[in-house]
Amino acid sequence: MRQIGGGITVARGFSARSVFCGIKDGNADRPDLTLIASEVPSVAAAVFTTNRIKAAPVRLSTAHLRSAVTRAIVANSGNANACTGKTGDRDARSMARNCARLLRIDTRQVLVCSTGRIGVPLPMKKIERGLSLLSGSNVRMGSTEAARAIMTSDTFAKECAVQIKLDGKPVRIGGIAKGAGMINPQMATMLCFLSTDAAISKKVLQRFLVSAVEQSFNRITVDGDMSTNDSVICLANGLAGNSRDALSSSGDFQKALNFVTAKLARMIVEDGEGITRVIEVIVRGAASQSDALKAVRAIANSALVKCAWFGGDPNWGRVMDALGYSGARLREERVEIFYDNLCAVRGGVAIPSAKNLRTVTRKKQFKLTVDLHLGKGTDRILTTDFTPAYVEFNKGE
C-alpha cells in the first residue's frame, strides 16, 4: 500500500464537480454544492448517524441505498436540512431528482447529503440554480474543490488517497471529509465520501466500511455532541478489474480503507473548532473491550480533563475521576497512567518523581495511556482540548 496525492477522484471513472450557489451568504470563492459521480454503474455502502433525529437527506439516502446501483452523491454545505419536516423530505428528493436528470440515471441511484445549520429549510431556488450550473462549463472540477464545497467551520480541505495491488492490478481508494464541531463517537458531525475502482460486491463493501468506520470516525471526539447528518459513503465501480475473490481473501483492501478513514478522521480532530492540542487517549488492561471503550469515552469527553489540557496541565486526578464515573470496572490501587512514556500514576497514586509531565502536556500532540491491570480490554480515542475559542465560536450571534 502506498499513499498517493488526491482524494475522491483518484479512483478511475470518478469525477467531482462543484459550484457556488450562495447557500450561506459567503464569498463566491468557496463552492457550496458538489456532485460526485461514477461514469459507470457502481455499488454503494454507507454508515449514517445513530441519532434518532435524522436529517431529511439521511432518511432519503438510507432509502436510496437499497438500490443495487448507486452512481452519484450530491452534497451541499451551509444548511443541514434537518428538523425541517415534510418540506425537508421534498427538498432532498428534489435534489436527487435534479441530479438524476442531469446524469440521465434513475433518481434512486443518487445519494444526498447536507451539512450546516439545523432547522432552516433549504433555499431551494439557490440550490436549483446551483444544480443547473453543474451541467455547465463553469464548474470547478476535482477532489479538492469538492472537499472545499462540503466545509462548514473547517479551516482546511481534507483529502486522502492510497493505491494497493490486488492480483497484480492497481486498485485505488480515495476520500474527502469535513468536521469540525458536533463531533463525537457514534459518528461525528461529519461527512466523508470515499470512492474506489475496486471490483467488490455491495455486501462486502458494506462490511469493510462498517469495520473501517468503527475504528476511525467512531473513535474521535471534539465536543461530545453527535449530529443529525453524519454520513460516510463509499462508492465502488470495479474499473480496476481485480478479481472479487482476491479482494475478499486478502486483508489488503480493509487495511487500505482503514488507513484512508483513519487519516481523514485525524484531520477532522486536528481541525476541531478552536482546539490547540490533539490527544490520543488509550485504555488498556480493562476487564473487557466494552469497559475499555467506556473508560476512553469518559476521559476523552470530560470537560474538566479537556480544560486542563488546554492549560497544558497534566491533572491526572481529573482523569482518575472520569475513570471512576465511566462505569468501567476498576481497582483504584492498580491504575497506572502515562503521559507519552512518562509514568504519572502507579498503584493508583502519584509517582513523586514525575515532575516533568508538563513537558508532555504542553505539546501539540501527546498520548495519555491508562492501564487498568484487570484484563485484556483495550481501546483508543482521538480527542482535543477544550478552549475558550470553542465556546466563543459556538455561542451564536
Q: Which of 395, 394, 338 is nearest to 180 (CA)?
A: 394
Q: Which of 227, 361, 352, 220 is nearest to 296 (CA)?
A: 220
Pairing of strands 278-286, 377-384: antiparallel
Q: Spell out, one character per residue from 189 to 228, where the chain touches a second copy: x when CB under 8 A holds, - when not.
A: ----------------------------------xxxxxx
CB of 41 or CB of 311, closer to a second copy: 311
Q: Spell out, one character per residue from 4 to 43, where the chain touches a second copy: x when CB under 8 A holds, - when not.
A: ----------------------------------------
Contact segment (CB under 8 A) with a second copy among 61-69, 176-184, 234-242, 263-271 equals: 176-184
Q: Spell out, one character per residue from 257 to 286, where the chain touches a second copy: x when CB under 8 A holds, - when not.
A: ------------------------------
Q: Yes or no: say if 265 and 219 are a contact pair by the CB < 8 Å rule.
A: yes
Q: Yes or no: say if 21 and 132 are a contact pair by the CB < 8 Å rule.
A: no
Q: Which of 18, 51, 153, 261 binds a second copy (CB under 8 A)?
A: 51
Burial label for 187, CB within 10 Å (0-12, 13-18, 19+), is buried
Q: Tell me the C-alpha distance between 21 and 11, whole Å.
A: 27
In the complex, least distance from residue 372 CB atom to a second copy, rounded to whole angstroms: 11
Q: Is 245 in the site for a second copy (CB under 8 A)?
A: no
CB of 1 or CB of 343, closer to a second copy: 343
In the complex, least distance from residue 44 CB atom to a second copy, rounded to whole angstroms: 24
Q: Spell out, one character per residue from 282 to 321, where the chain touches a second copy: x when CB under 8 A holds, - when not.
A: -------------------xxxx--xx-xxxx-xxxx-xx
Q: Which of 27, 85, 104, 137 binds a second copy (CB under 8 A)?
A: 85
Q: Tell me the C-alpha distance between 41 and 238, whole Å.
A: 9
Helix 289-301 vs helix 303-310: crossing angle, to nearest 10: 60
Q: State the virtual CA torsion across 237, 241, 244, 247 in degrees, nearest 10.
A: -90
Q: Which helix (H) or strand (E) holds 382?
A: strand 377-384
Would you call 189 a catalytic residue per the annotation? yes
Q: Yes or no: say if 390 and 273 are a contact pair by the CB < 8 Å rule.
A: yes
Q: Is 186 in the site for a second copy (CB under 8 A)?
A: yes
Q: Yes or no: say if 169 and 242 are a contact pair by the CB < 8 Å rule.
A: yes
Q: Is 375 in the site for a second copy (CB under 8 A)?
A: no
Q: Is 351 in the site for a second copy (CB under 8 A)?
A: no
Q: Tell me the C-alpha distance between 11 and 201, whole Å.
A: 17
Q: Which residue in the block uniquely carries the three cell numbers 480490554? A: 377
Task: Return residues touching a second copy (CB under 8 A).
Answer: 50-54, 80, 82-85, 87, 117-120, 181-182, 184, 186, 223-228, 301-304, 307-308, 310-313, 315-318, 320-325, 329-330, 332-333, 345, 347-350, 386-397
Residues tagged active-site: 189
